[in-house]
A and B are shown apart, each in its own frame.
Chain A
């Protein structure tokens, strides 16, 4: 272990990668679910003819457009990171991860971009049925995208179907490459997380809309659809998360040891609710343990043993405190979600779902919960697989571009930082403004001199909703 982190190209490249992925991942976490939600609303409108579905759909399409645009431009950055900062990983593993990523482009990105234009601007140009199909294809595309990016990530976490020649990976069986041992677990866990994240946003925005006593019908549709979905998905996620954990225990035991801050191989294992893990001293301070619970959760038996971190060489252990706390934040967020859903169903049972101000307030406060869970879960799995990029085979330190200097990466890191610090708050404020304007409005900006001669902005091309002819 290095006790003092020096600013070398490796650590800076890792910070840069973390920075650009972390900001990027919160957009798919939101847009994957919203795309499906829009498709469902469009379908409901098509089959029932109820105007409220159309209004809610148009409302979310406007917000989706902003998030998706940000997702595209921050996504374009990602593949180039493999080249600029991780060229040795590219050289070594491109035979395998290259096509997985390229398939994401072929099957997902073009589908998204091709039909997004029609979804956003084409309602007047194509028949309603075609518009619905466009919404459906955009939703499927976001799922295809999740499939391939997680296939690629899972191969790096639990590599399979390869052989190594001259330090480079070669595929031997593509089915094994795609369906690695952790892939389906990761896919289900992640997609559920994305759907839950979106549903929490929809529920919170619905609650806000109701609390403002404006667009009540739309707000109720949002809250009930989201709460129904959450009632299914949140319990499912508990099962999926548990299964994913068992899978990780089998294939990445060091990650589990770090998650639980277990230093010694013992059984039965307690569950450490809280501690300050000390990597150097190989122990936990201020530990709050619940006996047997660790074994029960991790092995589904009361006396199961868990491999401790001391079984792994110090240079093959992940940074324990980060993994330990990130995991606890994720689980904590999950528990809060469960409480929110149960409370929602109780209130619904007694007919007070839309009239309990404290609950509507809680729903609003819960909007970031999904994002917090996604980011901390991602941190758990990605920091937990350190020090490897290809687990057990290629070290992160051996993956970085050799021609980089500290100055190089410092400059690019500063550029990325400044750019995202400008773009993200701006996008966030614009989405907030759209939320504030509510589902009935087609105008996001008050009329003023700036608008003189202003043609439809893309979003205005949506058909006028409540105010036909009310456009500038």
Chain B
């Protein structure tokens, strides 16, 4: 509206980028634990797995709400186009998250219905993850837009590419989940997590290679971004570092490393995320609107920025503190968290 000398679009892009990444990471590992839950060697192991994430899952999920609301506030046009375009994946994701979320409390309330809520937790995690992958795939392949509105059909999101991304994300969250479990458990359960981690990693490697080759085919601008001349010189380290990380992760899963598998998985996600950002920058509605075109009014961005810059460090601090309180190995007996 008004001419503004200062633009907050850059900093909002960074904040939302970081927020979404934190969501993927945090809910990623607890959704990952849910994906693995149904495969747990025993009921007791399954309980330990759930106990490891019970105090933190709702904090993790809060980043999804914040991501959605920050997008609405800072880039409302993107929100108003993207969310209707992925109407069904969002619906399915929300309901799957609802079922898996209430399962944390519900499964202990009644032995009769416990199996039902355990399944709700396991399949809810799988469905929510797959739906997020569909959204991501649909986002990368772009939407049909007329004016300021989504103009496509309800199933435009459903393509072989988006389905593939959904499956790849299952492996990715699975990898994060095994990393978390290796960190938080010990003994036979930890060994089991290492073994499953290797399967997940194989899936992730396959997923990374296929998506890296497939997305330039989907849109010429992605191909141009990566393979045109000056860019190649700057961007070649990204696939190289990714490959090194894969190797590091593989070795960590074979050795007796405690924290490395989780750290390496986080870095793998970071690199993939960076690759995605490079592919799409500066589009927020690929390939129609840039971040600048979809931005809300400078007054809106400034108003929210004040609180965000103040609150984000505080939030990170007390969220970190909460993780610290529940640090250490989780055990199946009454002796609570190992930190005591």
Contact = CB atoms under 8 A, between A and B. Distances in A.
A430 B114 CA distance: 12
Interface string B63-98: 011101110111011011111110110111011011
Interface in A98-132: 98-99, 101-107, 109-118, 120-122, 124-126
A458 B108 contact: yes
A125 B326 contact: yes
Contacts, number: 276
Given A106-B308, A456-B334, A98 B300 contact: yes
Given A117-B56, A124-B336, A453-B44, A90 B110 contact: no
A403 B150 contact: yes
Interface in B291-340: 296-297, 299-300, 303-304, 307-308, 311-312, 315, 318-319, 321-322, 325-326, 331-334, 336-337, 339-340
Interface SS of chain A: helix, strand, loop or mixed?
helix
Interface in B13-35: none
A412 B91 contact: yes
Contacts of A120: 55
Nearest to A445: B111
Contact of B77 (A76, A91, A433): A91
Contacts of A466: none
Nearest to A121: B55
A65 B339 CA distance: 23
Contact of B296 (A79, A95, A461): A95
Contacts of A96: 300
B1 interface: yes
A351 interface: no
B135 to A, nearest CB: 11
A461 B336 contact: yes
A125 B340 contact: yes
Number of contact residues on A: which range applies?
35 or more
B151 A445 contact: no
Contacts of A113: 58-59, 61-62
B51 interface: yes
Nearest to B151: A403
Interface stretch (A67-75, A241-249, A288-296, A373-381): A67-75
B334 A79 contact: no
A105 B66 contact: yes
A90 B80 contact: yes
B282 interface: no
Interface stretch (B99-107, B177-185, B216-224): B99-107
Task: Determine which residue in B59, B77, B95, B98 has the highest number of CB atoms from chain A within 10 A of its CB, and name it.
Answer: B98
Contact of B110 (A94, A430, A459): A430
Contact of A455 (B1, B113, B307, B331): B331
A381 B297 CA distance: 30
A77 interface: yes
Given A423-B99, A456-B336, A109 B113 contact: no
Interface of A: 65-66, 68-70, 72-77, 79-80, 82-84, 87-88, 90-91, 94-96, 98-99, 101-107, 109-118, 120-122, 124-126, 163, 165, 170-172, 174, 401-405, 407-408, 411-412, 415-416, 419, 423, 426-427, 429-430, 433-434, 444-445, 448, 450-451, 453-461, 471
Pairs A-B, 7 closest by C-beta atoms: A83-B83, A94-B76, A98-B73, A457-B108, A117-B55, A113-B59, A430-B109
